[in-house]
Chain A
């Protein structure tokens, strides 16, 4: 087996499901992680039920893959939730939930999977951010802040892990019509898209293409970066 064992979080739907199917087509072994079952059926796909924002749940997942002798090469921290609201109208529990999944989930998964990667002195971690971070739009204070935390975490993680041959980068997609966006008002999405260089929603393929660049064997000198899709 080459360096082709990939963990993707949030594979039960949306971008995560697309990425899992995309990399399965490209001969990767994909370990999907989400809180709910996956509909993906493939001989190189294994699904694990886990809540990435709960340390205990991630430890159990890690224990399972260790027991099976699986050693991950690539981690895509895709699991995330979105919510748009004026700060004054945002309940504390909503802010907590967003930070827990988006930031804490990325932190816990990165910490645990990096341990496996450190052992073999090679790894690729790609985290998902958003164009909402540089755009600083009204109504996205909590969501964009959680993703901003992911970006800063990625930059520092990159510094801490590069001596082990592990790179850490972020992709910041433009809005993609997935389940994540269903709850957001269409005019808000349009307002965001109008701020981009390319004034249209993004596609899952754009993200897969960028991830492919980051995880390439040839990208060992590319770390601590965020690529925003759609143009800033």
Chain B
């Protein structure tokens, strides 16, 4: 996994967890296995929207490219790239690669 992308996801998640209402629980620590959206989720759908916006903005600043994280599988329990940090990082890497390949 690309360490820059992974760190970017960590930072964006931390920002969103901090912004979110206190009635949502926060994970004790954020690592590759931290669940993002799905069963036992830490984020609601509005939190997920905020996360997408935060990550897209950070990617623009860091890599100087615009990508859209929109995906049909976003709300799927088993196939969503947003199910945990690792799947999301790999998904972003794939989008970045597609962007580089033109």
Footprint of B on A, CB under 8 Å? 55, 59-60, 62-63, 66, 111-112, 115, 118-119, 163
Task: Tell me how many residues of B have a C-beta within 8 Å of chain A.
Answer: 13
Complex CA–CA separation, A214 to B34 (angstroms): 42
B70 within 8 A of A: yes
In the complex, what residue of chain A is closest to B54 when comparing beta carbons? A119
Hey, which chain B residues are within 8 Å of A112, CB to CB?
68
Decide yes or no: A62 and B70 within 8 Å by CB, A115-B53, A115-B56, A118-B53 being known contacts. no
Counted as pairs of residues, one from A and one from B, with CB atoms less than 8 Å apart, the total is: 23
Complex CA–CA separation, A63 to B68 (angstroms): 11
Complex CA–CA separation, A163 to B49 (angstroms): 12
With A59-B67, A63-B66 given, can you name 7 additional A-B contacts, CB distance below 8 Å? A60-B66, A62-B66, A63-B65, A66-B66, A115-B52, A115-B53, A163-B46
Q: How far is the CB of A35 from chain B (nearest CB, A)?
A: 19
Complex CA–CA separation, A62 to B56 (angstroms): 11
Hey, which chain A residues are within 8 Å of B49, CB to CB?
118
Q: How far is the CB of B22 from chain A (nearest CB, A)?
A: 17
Q: How far is the CB of B56 from chain A (nearest CB, A)?
A: 7
Q: How far is the CB of B17 from chain A (nearest CB, A)?
A: 17
Complex CA–CA separation, A157 to B80 (angstroms): 23
7 contacts between A and B (CB under 8 A): A59-B66, A60-B66, A62-B66, A111-B70, A115-B52, A115-B53, A119-B57
Hey, which chain B residues are within 8 Å of A55, CB to CB?
68
